[in-house]
Amino acid sequence: MSQLMPPGFLDLTGRTALVTGAGQGVGESIARHLAGRGARVVVNDVRGARAIATAEALVAAGAEAVPIAADVTSYDDVRRMFAEAGPVDILVNNAGNAGAGNDFSSMASPFWESDPSTWQAFIEVNLMGVLNCTHAALPGMAERRHGRIVTVISDAGRVGEGRLAVYSAAKAGAAGFMRAIAKAGGRHLITANAIALGTVRSGTQGAEADPAADARQLAAYAIRRFGVPEDVAGLVLLLASDAGGWITGQTIPVNGGFSSAL
Ligand SMILES: NC(=O)c1ccc[n+]([C@@H]2O[C@H](COP(=O)([O-])OP(=O)(O)OC[C@H]3O[C@@H](n4cnc5c(N)ncnc54)[C@H](O)[C@@H]3O)[C@@H](O)[C@H]2O)c1
C-alpha cells in the first residue's frame, strides 16, 4: 500500500518539551500527552513537589521526564531552569493563575472597584512568565532552526471577561506577544501560537457550589459540558509536532463552542 501519511506523523521522539505549571491540571495532561508521543519532558512547577509527582508518574509509565522547580515570574529562576533542561525544542507556556487555589475574590467586583495592588499578580504569571520563558527558549531554537512555542491563554483574553479585567488583559497580551514572536521567529522555522481555553475542570477543581450557576454558564457552550484537561492536549500535540509547521501566529480556541474565532 502506498504511504498514507509521513512516517512518524505527530511523533515527538527525539524532541524535548518544557511545560510550565505541569504539576497539575491542564499542564499535567499536556506533559503526559507529549511524553506519550515520545518527547522527553521537562516538568516545571513553582511547587516542586507537584513537578516531582508528575515527572515520577511519567517515568513510571516508561517516559523520559525530569522535574524542575522554578517560578516563571523570576527571570533568574527561568535562566537556571533552561540551563538545567538542556536544549528545548517545544515550549508550552501553561503556568497561569486561573485554576485551583487561585483567589479571584479581589476581581469579583467591577474593575473600577478593584485595588490596584491586586493587578500585578495577574500580569506577573500570565504575561511576564510567558516573556521570561520565551526569551530563554528562543536563542537555542533559532540556532537549531526549529522551535515550537504554545502559550495557554483564556477565552477571557480573546473576548473579555468583565469580572476578570486584569486577567483578560494579561492573557490578551500573551496572545499578542505570540503573534509578534511568530513574525520574528518564522524565518528561523520557529512557530508561536496561543490556545484560548473555556472553563476546564480537572480533578483539582471542584464543581462550583452552585449548580444553577454552572447551568447558566453552560448555556453559553455549544457542547454543554465543561472541558477536561484531556480536551486541550490534542491541539497542543499538533502545534508541537512537525505537522504543525505551517500553523503560526494564531490564537485557537478550545472551548466547547463558547465563542468562535473568525
Ligand atoms: N482551568 C480553566 O478553566 C482555565 C480556563 C482558561 C485558561 N486557563 C489557563 O490554563 C492554564 C492552566 O490552568 P489550570 O486550570 O490547569 O491551573 P492550575 O492552577 O490547576 O495549575 C496551574 C499550575 O501552575 C503552577 N504555577 C502557578 N504559578 C506558577 C509560576 N509562577 N511558576 C511555575 N508554575 C506556576 C501551579 O503551581 C499549578 O500546579 C493557566 O494558564 C490558566 O490561566 C485555565
**Residues 20, 101: Cα–Cα separation, whole Å:** 17
- Cell 493587578, residue? 119
What is the layout of strands, in order, in the sheet containing 65-69? Answer: 65-69, 40-45, 16-19, 90-93, 147-154, 190-197, 251-254
Q: Is the CB of 250 under 6 A from ligand 1?
A: no
Where do the domains of the chain lie?
16-203+229-254
124 Cα: distance to centroid of ligand 1 (angstroms):
13
125 Cα: distance to centroid of ligand 1 (angstroms):
9
Condensed to tens digits (0 to 9), the pLDDT of residues 78-132 reads 999 999 999 999 999 999 986 444 556 655 678 999 889 989 999 999 999 999 9
DSSP lists the bridge partners of residue 253 as 196
Contacts of 113 (CB under 8 A, 6+ apart): none
One digit per residue, pLDDT tens: the chain, 262 residues?
678 998 899 999 999 999 999 999 999 999 999 999 999 999 999 999 999 999 999 999 999 999 999 999 999 999 999 999 999 999 999 999 864 445 566 556 789 998 899 899 999 999 999 999 999 999 999 999 999 999 999 999 999 998 889 999 999 999 999 999 999 999 999 999 999 999 999 865 555 557 888 899 999 999 999 999 999 999 999 999 999 999 999 999 999 999 998 8
The 3-state DSSP class for residue 109 equals coil
- Choosing from 102, 200, 252 the residue with most ligand 1 atoms within 8 A of its CB, the one to mutate for a pocket test is 200
CA-based R_g, the chain, Å:
18
Q: Is the CB of 96 under 6 A from ligand 1?
A: yes
Catalytic residue set:
167
**Residues 199, 171: Cα–Cα separation, whole Å:** 14
- Choosing from 46, 52, 130, 151 the residue with most ligand 1 atoms within 8 A of its CB, the one to mutate for a pocket test is 46
Q: Is the CB of 20 under 6 A from ligand 1?
A: yes
**Residues 241, 90: Cα–Cα separation, whole Å:** 9
Q: Is the CB of 43 under 6 A from ligand 1?
A: no
Q: Is the CB of 129 under 6 A from ligand 1?
A: yes
Phi first, then psi: give them for residue 204, nearest 5 degrees: -85, -5
- Choosing from 18, 20, 24, 251 the residue with most ligand 1 atoms within 8 A of its CB, the one to mutate for a pocket test is 24
According to CATH, what is the number of the domain 16-203+229-254?
Answer: 3.40.50.720
